Amino acid sequence: MKNISYLLVITIISFIACSSTTKKGNDNEAQAEIKILRFDKDIYNYLQNPNVETESQLKDRYPLLLPAFGRVTMNNSDPETFFLSLREYFSHPALMGIYKDALSTFDNLSPYEQELTLVNQRVSEHLTGKQLPQFAMHVSGFRENVIILNNLISISADKYLGSNYAAYKEFFQPYERQQMQPQFIVKDYTKAWLMSDIIKTETENQTLLSAMIDEGKILYALSILLPETTKDDLMGYTSAQSAWCKENEKETWKQIVKQNYLFSTDYMLINRIIDEAQATIDISEKSPGRLGCWIGWQIIEKYAKRKDISLQEIINTDAQTILKDSKYNP
């Protein structure tokens, strides 16, 4: 909550350390069942009965995740004061109520683990030598949604309690809340992995085109790895928002080209067209946010159909080549 020491911030991804999830293991590794580490439960159990022995166990079990969690939630990873800060942080009754709701909602993670196991099988089919990393779950108090470490990704369960969850309404806009639902957990785990390890966005000399293509690659990869997930859910759009994009695709592209946005390196402009927002205001106040991501996805799909090449080949192809060879012209 924003007025409780600014506990709440918008959903962001925290790159705590370099992520590298490539493994040269055998096929059995790729078929292994995915299990989600219950860091959230272990921390909660400690808070109910703080003691030195449990502190030592937590340090041993989560040598990287524990200090990373401290940095992004309490701004404290000092081993000498970490657990004192942890107890103080979660001492607020409202925050502890949210914690309990998260544990109750996600008491059983088997459905998500089963779906991630299927995703991992598809990863081995489409991305040679790759496999999903270890996954964990934490409760941040509406702070960091994703923590990415070396071969470990943790998401904040309290960001998926349902779009109508009462505590969200004071702190999050409707366009944010529509994605704060349990059905987006597997997508967000997979997306975080793709962004950190497979499709690394260029930040130096980035243009709107390269940003849109990178986002398009991520969405296209998600559509292959999560084939049963609807396009609306992959985008995080309502059906009405998707319909607006389709109906206005030609005009959107026309504006991007006419306004000379395509090769702009203005990061503020890029962010307005790519990032979460109520609307993509540079295009239309009636549009949904992230319109540039949707356009990027359409370009990638056109390119994939024309070239009939693998996901890995698409990922490896540069933005200008993809645009040119896709012959995208809605």
Tokens of 7: 């506990």
Mean pLDDT of 4-30: 39
The predicted-structure confidence for 278-325, as pLDDT tens digits, reads as follows 999 999 999 999 999 999 999 999 999 999 999 999 999 999 999 999
pLDDT in tens, 117-176: 999 999 999 999 999 999 999 999 998 789 999 999 999 999 999 999 999 999 999 999
Q: Using alpha carbons only, what angle is made at residue 274 by residues 273 and 280, rounded to the nearest 5 degrees?
A: 35
What mean pLDDT do residues 69-81 have?
A: 90
Distance (Å, whole) CA 214 – CA 130? 19
Contacts of 306 (CB under 8 A, 6+ apart): 325, 326, 327
* Closest of 262, 272, 281 to residue 324, by C-alpha: 262
Cα–Cα distance for residue pair 65/56, rounded to 1 Å = 14
Tokens 């995703």 locate to 119
Average pLDDT over residues 209-231: 97
Cβ contact 40:139 at 8 Å: yes
Full 3-state SS string of 258-290: HCCCCCCCCHHHHHHHHCCCCCCCCCCCCCCCC
Q: What's the pTM?
A: 0.90
